[in-house]
């Protein structure tokens, strides 16, 4: 049996032991429902020019068609494509890269966490699993749409393009003027915290014209970072030097790798290199959106830490979803490292400043929306509404473990060029 086959068999066993997915979550949609979704998106969420573009319509139809697939099909399709792109990005920068048995099988499971978990496959194959929370893709999509919707824009030009107003003042005014922006965010966060699923999120929210592309780019960059971070653990040699522990997954006997803070922080910087480059090289967007998606992942993790902790304890700082360094620390380290990744020259310096500015705006959006969501969660706790039983929390890690300095040289020994963004050719 090959390493991949052994990994797949182990993943199937984990899923069989972890029966937490409600049957209604994998029901197949009627084709007419898919057609209605396509028609509504084209009518309400795109400009007339975009709706008439055959390529745009094809993308919308492809996305809607996924609703007739079950969860396994949807997530497998997304993760396989992103895994291939991350590996292409790494191979273009590392001489003779050959992952061999270290190439992980990427799967999904109701983990009760937002950050992916890694685990060795029992046996002699040396295979590894990287497991995403099975609601993470939906949560990332919903959250990206909520953030994009909070950004105002100017008039649409003759070609149907619009210029977004990317300043803290503009987004603050937008959120204060339109309560539906905060309502959308609260609906997603509260539903996820209370039920552990996004199946019951209200579907009446439709993106205003012009916002779908921005939301999709944020979503993709967030997912690339999660995958890039896990590949960074492999490239940095963490898999063979890390102890495993039980009690992290709902499958109590399963052991996952328990990375140290230093390993997590080191994987952040290399994960950023991989994800930003993959984001650029595979036609998703430039570094500003790529970097904002990274910040959005940490903000998503922080928000759900707080939401679940509020429901469980009444104190948003009491507990967190799994072990990880403080999100603010991780974001600041990557902000500090970004100029090194960009290289010299005024053009790169400008790109860095644009990326940092957009990341600041994105972080402020999350802060403003969370402040408007907190009272709803506190009210639910007062009424005795608990967090979903699937959430796996631990006491909040306080920061007693010192953070190592960012590495002075971002490339492993076998890298043949600088780990900067941009096309590898």
Judged by phi (left if over 0) then psi (alpha if -120 to 50, else beta), residue 375 lies in: alpha
Domain assignment present for residue 169? The answer is yes
Q: Are 202 and 187 in contact (CB under 8 A)?
A: yes
Looking at the predicted structure, is the pLDDT value of residue 122 above 70? yes
Looking at the predicted structure, is the pLDDT value of residue 423 above 50? no
pLDDT at 418: 44
Domain assignment present for residue 38? The answer is no
Q: Which span out of 6-10, 315-319, 408-412 was modeled with the highest average pLDDT?
A: 315-319
**Above pLDDT 90, what percent of the chain?**
32
Question: Once rounded to an integer, what is the mean pLDDT over residues 191-214?
Answer: 75
Looking at the predicted structure, is the pLDDT value of residue 153 above 90? no
The Cα–Cα gap between 170 and 153 comes to 9
Question: Once rounded to an integer, what is the mean pLDDT over residues 13-20?
Answer: 72
Instruction: Give how many domains the chain has, as a whole number.
Output: 1
Domain assignment present for residue 284? The answer is yes
C-alpha dihedral, 233 to 237 to 241 to 243, nearest 10°: 20
pLDDT confidence of 5, banded at 50, 70, 90?
Answer: confident
Looking at the predicted structure, is the pLDDT value of residue 29 above 50? no
CA 210 remoteness from chain centre: 22
pLDDT at 411: 40
Domain assignment present for residue 62? The answer is no
Range from 25-29, 72-76, 136-140, 277-281 carrying the lowest mean pLDDT: 25-29
Q: Among 203, 200, 271, 264, which Cα is nearest to 238's? A: 264
The Cα–Cα gap between 388 and 230 comes to 26
Do the bridges between strand 393-395 and strand 319-321 make them parallel or antiparallel, or are there none, so unpaired? antiparallel
pLDDT at 413: 37
Fill in the DSSP letter of residue 256: E
Range from 205-214, 272-281, 330-339, 381-390 carrying the lowest mean pLDDT: 205-214
Looking at the predicted structure, is the pLDDT value of residue 311 above 90? yes
pLDDT at 115: 82
pLDDT at 342: 65
The Cα–Cα gap between 55 and 354 comes to 29
DSSP alpha helix (H) spans, 45-133: 48-51, 54-65, 71-91
The Cα–Cα gap between 175 and 361 comes to 13
Domain assignment present for residue 303? The answer is yes
Model pTM score? 0.83
Cβ neighbors of 73 (< 8 A, separation 6 or more) are 66
Domain assignment present for residue 166? The answer is yes
Domain assignment present for residue 322? The answer is yes
Query: Of residues 60 and 370, which shows the higher confidence score?
Result: 370
Question: Once rounded to an integer, what is the mean pLDDT over residues 416-424?
Answer: 44
Q: Among 228, 184, 225, 233, which Cα is nearest to 373's? A: 184
Q: Among 401, 397, 399, 400, which Cα is nearest to 318's? A: 397
Looking at the predicted structure, is the pLDDT value of residue 424 above 90? no
pLDDT at 417: 39
Domain assignment present for residue 91? The answer is no
* Chain mean pLDDT for the chain: 80
pLDDT at 138: 85
Q: 189 is in which domain, residue-wise?
A: 136-243+260-395
Looking at the predicted structure, is the pLDDT value of residue 23 above 60? no
DSSP β-bridge partners for residue 245: 256
Looking at the predicted structure, is the pLDDT value of residue 327 above 90? yes
Fill in the DSSP letter of residue 405: P
pLDDT confidence of 158, banded at 50, 70, 90?
Answer: low
Query: Of residues 8 and 423, which shows the higher confidence score?
Result: 8
């Amino acid at each position: 049996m090959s390493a991949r086959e052994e990994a797949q068999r182990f993943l199937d066993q984990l899923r069989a032991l972890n029966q937490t997915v409600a049957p209604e979550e994998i029901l197949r949609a009627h084709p007419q429902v898919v057609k209605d979704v396509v028609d509504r998106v084209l009518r309400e969420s795109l400009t007339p020019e975009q709706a008439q573009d055959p390529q745009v319509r094809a993308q919308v139809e492809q996305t809607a068609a996924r609703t007739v697939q079950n969860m396994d099909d949807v997530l497998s399709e997304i993760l396989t494509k992103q895994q291939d792109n991350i590996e292409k990005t790494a191979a273009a920068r590392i001489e003779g890269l050959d992952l061999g048995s270290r190439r992980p099988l990427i799967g999904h499971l109701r983990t009760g966490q937002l950050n992916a978990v890694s685990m060795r496959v029992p046996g002699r194959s040396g295979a590894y699993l990287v497991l995403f929370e099975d609601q993470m893709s939906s949560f990332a999509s919903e959250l990206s749409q909520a953030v994009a919707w909070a950004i105002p824009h100017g008039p649409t030009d003759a070609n149907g393009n619009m210029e977004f107003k990317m300043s803290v003042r503009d987004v603050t005014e937008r959120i204060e003027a339109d309560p539906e922006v905060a309502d959308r965010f609260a609906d997603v966060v509260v539903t996820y915290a209370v039920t552990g699923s996004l199946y019951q999120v209200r579907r009446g929210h439709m993106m205003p014209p012009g916002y779908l592309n921005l939301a999709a780019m944020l979503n993709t960059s967030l997912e690339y970072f999660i995958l890039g971070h896990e590949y960074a653990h492999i490239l940095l040699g963490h898999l063979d030097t890390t102890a495993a522990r039980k009690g992290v997954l709902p499958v109590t006997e399963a052991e996952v790798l328990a990375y140290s803070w230093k390993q997590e922080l080191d994987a952040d910087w290399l994960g950023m290199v991989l994800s930003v480059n993959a984001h650029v090289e595979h036609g998703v967007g430039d570094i500003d959106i790529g970097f904002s998606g990274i910040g959005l992942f940490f903000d998503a993790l922080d928000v759900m830490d707080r939401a679940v902790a509020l429901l469980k304890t009444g104190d948003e700082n009491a507990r967190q979803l799994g072990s990880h360094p403080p999100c603010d620390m991780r974001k600041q380290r990557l902000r500090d490292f970004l100029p090194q990744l960009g290289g010299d020259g005024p053009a790169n310096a400008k790109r860095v400043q644009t990326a940092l500015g957009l990341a600041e705006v994105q972080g402020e959006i999350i802060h403003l929306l969370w402040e408007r969501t907190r009272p709803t969660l506190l009210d639910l706790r007062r009424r005795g509404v608990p967090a979903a039983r699937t959430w796996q929390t631990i006491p909040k890690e306080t920061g007693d473990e010192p953070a190592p300095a960012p590495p002075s040289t971002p490339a492993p020994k076998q890298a043949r060029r600088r780990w900067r963004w941009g096309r590898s050719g």
